[in-house]
Amino acid sequence: MLSVVVLISGSGSNLLALLKAAENPLYPVKVVAVGSDKDAPGLEHAELFEVDTFIVEPSRFQDKEQWAKTLLANVLHHQPDLVVLAGFMKILPESFVKALEGKLINTHPSLLPDFKGAHAVRDALQAGAKKTGVTIHYVDAGVDTGPVIVQQELTINEGESESELHERIKVIERALLVETIEKLALAKSASEGN
């Protein structure tokens, strides 16, 4: 069983997909806690599934390092095998990323390296891209630059709005995230000889 901590900032639909998948006893993943940088609406999903939650707000700390140190302590308290950034919209400092090296993944709504950053869907539309997609990748010290685990492409429809496109991306993203975390869980148990 892979223990996962999920960090979110928003509606948490990716988190919800993972919580639902983990209801199946054959799915080899347990969400042990959900954290956020604010009182995000998505925390309600964790509460409904009786999963621990924590909020560590940057504004309560002197600087980003202090904030990240406390966030990391909350994460490590749950002893996760994997930490998933699922719509977590704060940039994490190198100290946090290093402490979780190889155990920290992010889901991003574009085909990286195209359209890094917080407005990937809008940027793809503004650039007139014909295709975009989803990338799930390991997190390194850069923004959306870490090694890619998996990508899935999607064709942009003529005249599609940012919210329409993002919703279609998220349908793919949720399924890909659930599938990818399952694969990581199976790879870990295979490497441990289980």
Q: Catalytic amino acids?
A: 108
Residue nearer to ligand GRF on the CB measure, 78 or 170: 170
List residues bridging with 153 in a β-sheet: 133
Q: Mark the segment that binds ligand GRF (CB under 6 A) among 11-19, 47-55, 71-79, 90-98.
A: 11-19
Q: Counting contacts by CB under 6 A, is residue 10 touching ligand GRF?
A: yes
Q: Mark the segment that binds ligand GRF (CB under 6 A) among 10-18, 30-38, 71-79, 149-157.
A: 10-18
Q: Counting contacts by CB under 6 A, is residue 146 touching ligand GRF?
A: no
Q: Which residues, 6 or more positions from 73, have their beta carbon under 8 angstroms from its beta carbon?
A: none
Backbone dihedral angles phi then psi of residue 167, each to the nearest 5 degrees? -65, -40
Cis peptide before 113, with omega less than 30 degrees from 0?
Answer: yes
**What are the angstrom distances between the C-alpha of 2 and each of 23, 47, 69, 106, 152?**
14, 20, 24, 17, 24
| 186 membership: H or E segment, kind and range | helix 162-191
Residue nearer to ligand GRF on the CB measure, 13 or 132: 13
Is residue 5 within 8 Å of 100, Cβ to Cβ? no
Q: Counting contacts by CB under 6 A, is residue 154 touching ligand GRF?
A: no
Is residue 87 within 8 Å of 10, Cβ to Cβ? yes
The 8-class DSSP code of residue 12 comes to -
What x/- string results for residues 99 through 118 when contact with ligand GRF is judged by CB under 6 A? --------xxx---------
179: alpha, beta or left? (left if phi > 0; alpha if psi -120 to 50): alpha
Residue nearer to ligand GRF on the CB measure, 85 or 100: 85
Q: Counting contacts by CB under 6 A, is residue 28 touching ligand GRF?
A: no
Q: Counting contacts by CB under 6 A, is residue 132 touching ligand GRF?
A: no
Q: Counting contacts by CB under 6 A, is residue 173 touching ligand GRF?
A: yes
Residue nearer to ligand GRF on the CB measure, 163 or 191: 163
Amino acid identity of 132? T
- Reading the block at residue 9, the tokens are 């900032």
Q: Mark the segment that binds ligand GRF (CB under 6 A) among 6-14, 55-63, 138-146, 155-163.
A: 6-14
Q: Counting contacts by CB under 6 A, is residue 14 touching ligand GRF?
A: yes
Binding site for ligand GRF (CB under 6 A): 8, 10-15, 42, 86-87, 107-109, 170, 173
